[in-house]
Structure 1
Amino acid sequence: MTVESILEKLVAFPVLGGESNLSIIHWIKEYIESHGVETKLVPNEEGTKASLHCRIGPAVDGGVILSGHTDVVPVEGQEWSTDPFVLTDKGDGKLYGRGSCDMKGFLACCLAALPQMIKADLKKPIYFAFSYDEEVGCLAAPELARDINTYYTETPKYAIIGEPSLMEPIVGQKGIYILETYVNGSAGHSSRIKQEISAIHEAMHLILWLEQKMDRLIADKQLDDRFHPPHSSIHIGLVKGGIAANVIADKASFYWDLRTIPKDDISSIVAEFEAFCREREEKNRKIFPGFEIKNVEHHPPVPHLDTKADDDIVGLIKKISGNAKLDTVSYAAEAGQFANEGFNAAICGPGSIEQAHRADEFITIEQLEKGVEMMEKLIGELAAEDFS
């Protein structure tokens, strides 16, 4: 199958983050096994979802993992000019469809190159590692990476996460954590604002603390110029509370996300915020004993990636991608999770992140071809006697 025909098949699976991905993962499994390669599924506890990994080549240390996710974001509420789950070629050099860029294009490049990988006399192996639920918090990658480490007798060295980067090597990724904070106050007439505890007013104190914490990090020169912005960011994206202008709100909540540069620690910042929450509880319970603040994890923390410019993986990706410029990103990806399992990791894949998650998502045919070319060059590197 050609890379375009494989991408067409992958796009036709409308598997959203959080939903069962068994339809697409079983198609991929059957495709790989039709070429004589054994696969291993890593299911969730309920058996409704599964990641997949496999090895092509000899069982020796030092191989390369090619990592991607099978889920996509929703299309509801977006104005598409094409059917989002039908790969569409309008004749403008672009292939339209949900996931065409993020990141089924990379998966298609991997699968299209599989026959060539099998035929090559590889001295080091190539591994596929395809996950589920990346789009709702990078949930499956830690277990997938651990399973690769324990399932094979040999140990892979590198991990290339094929997020769309226009084939540029990405060596840094911010850590990410999303929480929802709930405030329980006391309802009453608005004229009694000093006799009651407004959940909205208290939520305002908490939001202001978070903004000031971000400003303190900047003032303390906790900066990393590789990123834009070059500091950890704290953002409040959704606030709820209240029923009327003249009613003191007894309930309020807000979602916030924390994106940290490698030198900042997610858990430390959250612990500081928790301590401030306890201070507010102690003060306000003198007025209303039922006052409470709860912080609920929206999804688990995603660790940062901090690959050094002189790490071996960077030199390899420069060779096979044809790009020497290094970059960093602030979005969530599975690269940091693979790095935490001991793999020398970086991000590099076809397509532009600017096209991801939007209506009329597309990948250019040129980028798809460059992705296949990268696979071919990787095969050449791993077939070389002196590859290390």
Structure 2
Amino acid sequence: MTAENILKTLVAFPVLGGESNLSIINWIKTYIESHGVSVNLLYNNEKNKASLHCRIGPEVDDGVILSGHTDVVPAEGQEWHTDPFVLTDKGDGKLYGRGASDMKGFIACCLAALPEMVKSNLKRPIYFGFTYDEEIGCLVGPELARTFNNYYKETPKYAIIGEPSLMEPIVGQKGIYILETYVNGSAGHSSRIKQEVSAIHEAMRLILWLEQKMDQLIVEERFDYRFQPPHSTIHIGQVHGGIAPNVIADKAKFYWDLRTIPMDSVDSIVSEFNAYCRARESELRQIFPDFSISTIENHPPVPHLDTKEDADIVDFVKRVSGNSKLNTVAFASEVGQYANEGFQSVICGPGSIVQAHRPNEYIEKAQLKEGVTMLQKLIYELSL
């Protein structure tokens, strides 16, 4: 099957992050097994989701992991001109469909190249690693990355995560952490604002502290110019609180995210924020003893990637991708989770991240072709 035909099948599985992915993962499993390759599934506790891993080639060290995720973001509420779960060719060199670029296109390239992988005289193995629930926080990437160290007797060397990068090797990714902060104040008449503790007023102070912390990092010139912007960012995306203009709010909450360059520590920033929260609690409990601030994870932190330009994988991926331009990204992916397990890791895949998560998502046919070509060159490299 061609990559385009496989992609058509994959797009037809409307598996969203958080939902069961067994329909698409079982199809992939059957396809791989039809080429004589043994496949392993890692189920969640409810047995309604599974990651997939397998090895093609010999049981020796220094193989390459090809990784992707099977879930997509919703299309409902967006203005699609075609059915998002029917891969559509309009004759303009593009294939439209949810997940075409992010990132079923890469998985389709892997499966299209599988017959050649099986027939080739590989001296080092190729592994597939396909996950679920990536789109809601890269939730199971760590488990699958660990599996490549624990399940196989040999040790893979490289991990290529095929997120859409226009086939550019991506050597850096910001770490990402999303949190929720809740403020419990005292309700009352708005004329008593100095005798009560407004949860909204305090939430605004906390938000201002976070903005000032970001500005402090800039003033201290904590920059990594590989990224745009070159500093860590702190962003508040949602704020809720209050019931009426003349009622002091006793409840408020806000959602915020940290996107840190490799030199900055998520834990350090959160620790400083929590220390400020404890100081505010100590002061304001003199007015309202039940005043409290609590911060919880919206989802676990996604680690950064900081692959050095002189790492072996960089030259390897330059050769197989045919692209020597290196780049960095600020979006979340599972690449840092593989790097944390000791695999030299990069992002490199067909399609553009600009198309991800938007209506009328597409991948260019030329990008699919380049994705398959990269894997053919990878097969050649591992056959030497």
Place the TM-score, normalised by the shorter chain, in its bin.
Answer: over 0.9
Give the letter aligned to residue 253 of structure 1: K
Alignment of 1:1-388 (within 5 A): 1-384=1-384
Give me the whole-angstrom Cα distance separating, in 1, the residues matched to 2:15 and 2:292.
38
Give me the whole-angstrom Cα distance separating, in 2, the residues matched to 1:335 and 1:364.
24
Give the match's secondary structure for 2:223: coil
Give me the whole-angstrom Cα distance separating, in 2, the residues matched to 1:2 and 1:226.
36
Give the match's secondary structure for 1:201: helix
Report the identity percentage.
74
Give the match's secondary structure for 2:296: strand
Give me the whole-angstrom Cα distance separating, in 2, the residues matched to 1:40 and 1:61.
19
Give me the whole-angstrom Cα distance separating, in 1, the residues matched to 2:160 and 2:360.
27
Give me the whole-angstrom Cα distance separating, in 2, the residues matched to 1:275 and 1:30.
53
Give me the whole-angstrom Cα distance separating, in 2, the residues matched to 1:181 and 1:300.
15
Q: TM-score, normalised by structure 1?
A: 0.98
Give the letter aligned to residue 255 of structure 2: Y
Give the match's secondary structure for 2:282: helix
Give the letter aligned to residue 186 of structure 1: S
Q: TM-score, normalised by structure 2?
A: 0.99
Q: How far off is 1:341 after superposition?
A: 0.3
Give me the whole-angstrom Cα distance separating, in 1, the residues matched to 2:75 and 2:290.
42
CA RMSD of aligned residues (A): 0.5
The answer for unaligned runs of 5 or more in structure 2 is: none
Q: Which runs of 4+ in 1 moved over 4 A?
A: none
Give the letter aligned to residue 88 of structure 2: T
Give me the whole-angstrom Cα distance separating, in 2, the residues matched to 1:233 and 1:47.
37
Q: How far off is 1:44 after superposition?
A: 1.3
CA contact (8 A) 1:42 1:147 kept: no
Q: How far off is 1:243 after superposition?
A: 1.0
CA contact (8 A) 1:25 1:70 kept: yes
Give the match's secondary structure for 1:186: coil
Q: How far off is 1:190 after superposition?
A: 0.5
Q: How far off is 1:2 after superposition?
A: 1.0
Give me the whole-angstrom Cα distance separating, in 2, the residues matched to 1:42 and 1:300.
20
Give the letter aligned to residue 132 of structure 1: Y
Q: How far off is 1:48 after superposition?
A: 1.6
Aligned residues: 384
Give the match's secondary structure for 1:91: coil
Q: How far off is 1:339 after superposition?
A: 0.2
Give the match's secondary structure for 2:360: coil
The answer for unaligned runs of 5 or more in structure 1 is: none
Give me the whole-angstrom Cα distance separating, in 2, the residues matched to 1:199 and 1:296.
17
Q: How far off is 1:76 after superposition?
A: 1.5
Give the match's secondary structure for 2:128: strand
